[in-house]
Amino acid sequence: MRVGFYQFAPILREVEINLGKVETAIRHTRADLVVLPEMCFTGYMLSSRDELAKFAEPVPTGPICCRMVDLCRERNTSLAFGLAEQDADRIYNSAVLVTNSGDVHVYRKSHLFLDEKDIFDPGDTPFPVFRLDGVGIGMLVCFDYIFPESGRALALNGAQVVCHPSNLVLDYAQWMTLTRAAENRVFWIVANRTGSETSAEKTLSFTGRSQVVAPTGKLLYRAGTDTEELPVIDIDPRDALDKMATPRNHLLEDRRTDLYPR
C-alpha cells in the first residue's frame, strides 16, 4: 500500500486556489492513500461561527467533497482531508475519507482545541473505522491525538492505518504520535500544514514535520518544518494486525478493563 501526505500552506479563505493546488499535486502522484491537513481548503482561522458557516459544507454533497470524489476516481486514489462540515445547524471540524471508488466517510473531531470551542460543535462520531481495499482506516483531527483514548478507540475498532489531518501549533504531536503508533501497533500518518495565519487577536505558526510512523513506533519519514512536500512510501498494513509486544503480550487483549476507571 502506497501511502503519503501532502504538507503545504493552505491560503486562508482561498478555497479555489487551495483546491487547484491539491488537484495538481495529486495528479502528479501515484499513491493508494494520501492524507492532507486539517481545514486544508479553507484555512484554519475563520473568524467567527458566522464566517465558518459560510465555508462549511454538507458531506458528501458539498462542493469540496464532490471535487475530491472526482479527483479520487480520476486518479484511482483515496484521500483523507479536513474540512468544516455543516449538518443542519451544526458545524463540525471533520476529517473526510474519499475512497478510490468514490465512497465518502466522515469523522468529526472529538476534542476541540482552544478557541475551536467557540465556533465548532464537538464531534459525535465514536471513532469509526472504514475499509479501504480490505484495510481498516481510522481518522483523527489534530488535537485528538493528545488523548490516548482516541488512538486506542481506533485500534479497538480495527484501524490499521490512522490518518491524522492536522494544523499543529504545539510541538507534542511529532514525538507523542510515535507512542500512539507503538502502543496500538498501527501505522500513523500525521499530515500537518506549514506557514502561519493571523487574525485580529493573534498569529498561529504551524509546525510542519508531518510524518509516517510504523506500528513499532519507528519513524518511517518526517517532513521538514517549512517544506512543501508529498512523499509516498510503501507500507504493509498487515503489520498492524500483529498486536504482540512480546510473544505472550497482546496489546489489546492484555488490557485490564476490569481495573480501569471510566
- 169, amino acid identity: V
Catalytic residue among 40, 65, 72, 142: 142
Q: Select from 2, 179, 226, 232 the one that contacts a second copy (CB under 8 A).
A: 179
Interatomic CA distance for residues 17 and 11, integer angstroms: 8
- 166 in contact with a second copy (CB under 8 A): no
* Between 61 and 175, CB nearer to a second copy: 175
The stretch near a second copy (CB under 8 A) out of 132-140, 220-228, 229-237, 250-258 is: 250-258
> What distance lies between CA 211 and its chain's CA centroid?
12
- The set of residues, in sequence order, having a beta carbon less than 8 Å from that of 88 and lying 6+ positions away, is none
In whole angstroms, the minimum distance from the beta carbon of 33 to a second copy comes to 24
In whole angstroms, the minimum distance from the beta carbon of 139 to a second copy comes to 14
Catalytic residue among 40, 72, 85, 109: 109
Interatomic CA distance for residues 240 and 262, integer angstroms: 27
> β-strand 232-234 against 2-5: which pairing, if any?
antiparallel
- 185 in contact with a second copy (CB under 8 A): no
In whole angstroms, the minimum distance from the beta carbon of 179 to a second copy comes to 4
Binding mask 17-56 for a second copy (x = CB under 8 A): ----------------------------------------
User: What is the torsional sign of CA 23, 132, 84, 82?
Assistant: negative
Catalytic residue among 21, 38, 40, 72: 38
Q: Select from 67, 111, 164, 193 the one that contacts a second copy (CB under 8 A).
A: 111
In whole angstroms, the minimum distance from the beta carbon of 25 to a second copy comes to 31
- 157 in contact with a second copy (CB under 8 A): yes
CA distances from 85 to 90, 116, 242, 262 (A): 8, 14, 35, 30
Nearest to 44 by CA among 140, 141, 127, 110: 141
DSSP3 helix / strand / coil % (the chain, rounded to 5): 25, 30, 45
Cβ-count burial 213-234 (b if 16+ within 10 Å, e if not): bbbebebbeebeeeebbbbbee
Q: Select from 99, 110, 167, 207 the one that contacts a second copy (CB under 8 A).
A: 110
The verdict on whether 38 is a catalytic residue reads yes
Q: Is 86 helix (H, G, I), strand (E, B) or coil?
A: strand
The verdict on whether 109 is a catalytic residue reads yes
Q: Give the interface with a second copy as residue ranges (CB under 8 A).
A: 110-111, 113-115, 117, 122-127, 143, 146-149, 152-153, 156-157, 170, 172, 175-176, 178-180, 182-183, 217, 245-249, 251, 254-257, 259-262
Instruction: Show which residues are catalytic.
Output: 38, 109, 142
